[in-house]
Amino acid sequence: MPLSAHARLTISDDTRDLPGAFGGGCASLLAGVAEEGSLNRAAKRMGMAYSKAWRIVREAEEHMNAELLTRDGARGSRLTPEGERALAAYRTLQTEIDELVTRRLPELLR
């Protein structure tokens, strides 16, 4: 029977009592903004309310202590350089975690 294991990465500032974190949902939203040029369109593509998307991004910005998106009213949004770095770092770490889990699961279940 083939088994798989999954681990979800979250990045958080543990020195402060903050809600939320930078996780898969925020990474997906940032990727959507990079593709769509709009947080609203990225949220709709994910089936998410714009207000929830805003909350997720704001909470992640607090944890990262950086502005992840620049907003330009009706023109939409784009990733800041910090947002691009955060998304790239998240993707890299999640890929490395996925590879580790995939490799180690069969070894540990022998």
User: What's the whole-model pTM score?
Assistant: 0.90
Residue 91 within any structural domain of the chain: yes
Is residue 5 a part of any domain in this protein?
no
pLDDT at residue 1 in the model:
72
Q: What is the pLDDT of residue 48?
A: 97
* Domains held by the chain: number: 1
CATH code for the domain in which residue 31 is found: 1.10.10.10
- Look at the block and give the residue holding tokens 């998304």: 87
Q: What is the pLDDT along the chain (110 residues), one digit of tens a residue?
A: 788 899 999 999 999 888 889 999 999 999 999 999 999 999 999 999 999 999 999 999 999 999 999 988 788 999 999 999 999 999 999 999 999 999 999 999 98
* Residue 13 included in any domain: no
- Residue 19 has a pLDDT of 85
- Secondary structure (H, E, C), the chain: CCCCCCCCCCECCCCCCCCCCECHHHHHHHHHHHHHCCHHHHHHHCCCCHHHHHHHHHHHHHHHCCCCEEECHHHCEEECHHHHHHHHHHHHHHHHHHHHHHHHHHHHCC
Domain around 65: 24-99
